[in-house]
Amino acid sequence: MAQNLVYLVTGGCGYIGGHIVKLLVTQEYVKEVRIFDLAENEEIMQCNTASIPVKIIKGDVTNYNQVEKAMEGVHVVIHTAALVDFLDMFPFTKMKAINVGGTENVINACLTMDVPYLVYTSSISAVGPNKHSEPMIRATEETVYTGESLLAYGKTKANAEKLVLQANGKKINNGKQIVTCVIRPSYVYGEQTQNLLDSYLTAKAENGIINYVEPENTHKPNAYVGNIAWMHVLAARHLQLKPDLLGGEVYYAYDSTPFMQRYKLLYELFAEIDPSIKLGTRIPYWKMWLIICTYNIFRFVLRPFWDLKPFLTFNILKIIVTSFSYETDKASKHFGYQPLYSWPECKKRTCDWLKKMKKRQNDHGKCKQK
């Protein structure tokens, strides 16, 4: 079993990437963890241990020369870097350049620099929902679901996925072959989940009420970010141990979080830290559609003076009301994945972080009053 391995995590200062780095420094077979990212994260920079250093390389995945240089002496790449944009706030060309072009750069650099193992972080958005909002319920990796992705972000992730899977088995410079696999997370929660914090603050601003649009019969899988990170770490290790089994495969990310609608998960978490939080009523689809329509008119009128950010799009509204879920144990069968954290632990870790953020918000508010 190979030891003293150098790992490179692209986007390692980001959400999932940061959690992957924190787990990698606990693995005895890892010699060094490198982070390739445009941003810097002080918390991640403190992940150095006595035996496993963490090195941050500031760079852009759209710059091939920077990517290639970062891979000198690397054995394994976990590619999480991406422009995540569900609200179409960025031009499609920019998102494509990062998510597709950046992935192409990572693959080509792996081939040139003799890096034999690559794990790619994709998304359920790469599968759908499609433009017809057709549901997918409790699917597996073998389920066939067709149609163009509803989200521009999903289109870029689907294209990047194809590149990664097509690269599997290609010859690298030393005559060996590159082995690749894909992890598809879905609805992620946990520490550092910005939209989770935003949802809590929104509920507080609305008298502690969580109103929702999602129908009660929708199916949506939720998974804790620490378990998703753990799946990446295990997949990367077993690419080396079982290349014929994992190579060219796709794995949905899952854990023991109970199946529930997103608003119910929010209530479970928020009520734990704030008993005043209550479930409200469902906002009808037509009403939400009119609200988005009105907001877009205001955005258009005010655009010359004020660039309002969209709070919701018609496509996201369609996704909210569309059942799109999977149920699988493929990762368990292929590389022995079991969630690192149980549902009670996931809940506690997330709530502890929310309490910390809540206190910080309160302290900030008191400072402003003074």
Nearest-CA neighbor of 46 among 56, 38, 57?
56
3-state secondary structure of 49: coil
Strand locations in the chain, DSSP E? 5-10, 30-37, 54-58, 76-79, 117-121, 136-139, 179-184, 187-189, 209-212, 222-224, 249-252, 278-282, 324-326
- CA-CA distance, 224 to 16, in Å (whole number)? 10
Which residues make Cβ contacts (< 8 Å) with residue 272, sequence separation at least 6?
347, 351
Two structure tokens written together for 342 = 């149980």
Catalytic status, residue 153:
yes
Nearest-CA neighbor of 164 among 77, 293, 224, 47?
77
Task: Name the DSSP letter for residue 76.
Answer: E
Task: Name the DSSP letter for residue 175.
Answer: S
- CA-CA distance, 170 to 178, in Å (whole number)? 6
Two structure tokens written together for 109 = 């650099």
DSSP calls for 328-348: --HHHHHH----SS-HHHHHH
Catalytic residue among 117, 120, 153, 341: 153
Nearest-CA neighbor of 61 among 136, 120, 11?
11
Two structure tokens written together for 321 = 């009301």
Task: Name the DSSP letter for residue 361.
Answer: H
Task: Name the DSSP letter for residue 217.
Answer: T
Which active-site residues does the annotation give? 153
